[in-house]
């Protein structure tokens, strides 16, 4: 950990940085999966789904940068190389042979949910207990973005 005048304890900063790096790896994986889906999806509603995936990609990219910069603010190292993303991401592997609309939507829905799950499943509480209101705020708005886009994606599925 890099020394900083940030008022959080070093232990809290180390713990939260590690947890945020896990979120970052999954978010970068999601960002790449969305472009894979954006480029390769095919079907009768092509343009709507093609554009939906790119819109979500743009929102995810904003959070990739925000989460990485929060880690840096805490004195941690933001890990975004392909090797570290590969080992750190908790997402299901994107099924690259699937290009139909329903299959692409289901894959992206699963990945959106997988990024969101650990946030509400204990991460927000741990950041709160460690006194990091800034990370709580960041993760809350990230979770809201993921859940909104999960609604958009699932609304195209019967
Ligand atoms: Fe494009």
How many angstroms does the Cα of residue 110 sit away from the middle of ligand 1? 22
Provide long-range contacts, Cβ within 8 A and 24+ apart, for 113-119: 113/146, 113/150, 114/26, 114/90, 115/23, 115/26, 115/27, 115/30, 115/90, 115/91, 115/146, 116/143, 116/146, 116/147, 116/150, 118/22, 118/23, 118/90, 119/23, 119/143, 119/146
How many angstroms does the Cα of residue 39 sit away from the middle of ligand 1? 7
How many angstroms does the Cα of residue 51 sit away from the middle of ligand 1? 8
How many angstroms does the Cα of residue 143 sit away from the middle of ligand 1? 25
How many angstroms does the Cα of residue 54 sit away from the middle of ligand 1? 7
Instruction: State the pLDDT at residue 84.
Output: 97
Instruction: State the pLDDT at residue 158.
Output: 80
How many angstroms does the Cα of residue 86 sit away from the middle of ligand 1? 24
- In this prediction, the residues of the chain whose per-residue pLDDT falls under 50 are none
How many angstroms does the Cα of residue 46 sit away from the middle of ligand 1? 13
Report pLDDT digits (tens) over 129-145.
999 999 999 999 999 99
What pTM does this model have? 0.96
CATH superfamily of 10-154: Ferritin, core subunit, four-helix bundle (1.20.1260.10)
């Amino acid at each position: 950990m890099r020394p900083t005048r940030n008022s959080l304890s070093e232990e809290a900063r180390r713990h939260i940085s590690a947890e945020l790096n896990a979120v970052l790896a999954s978010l970068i994986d999601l960002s790449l999966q969305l472009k894979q889906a954006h480029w390769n999806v095919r079907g009768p509603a092509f343009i709507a789904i093609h554009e939906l995936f790119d819109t979500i990609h743009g929102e995810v990219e904003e959070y990739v940068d925000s989460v990485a910069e929060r880690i840096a603010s805490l004195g941690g190292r933001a890990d975004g190389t392909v090797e570290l993303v590969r080992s750190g991401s908790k997402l299901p592997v994107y099924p690259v042979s699937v290009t139909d609309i329903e299959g692409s939507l289901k894959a992206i829905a699963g990945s959106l949910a997988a990024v969101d799950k650990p946030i509400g499943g204990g991460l927000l509480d741990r950041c709160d207990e460690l006194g990091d209101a800034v990370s709580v705020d960041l993760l809350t708005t990230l979770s809201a973005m993921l859940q909104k886009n999960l609604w958009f994606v699932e609304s195209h599925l019967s």
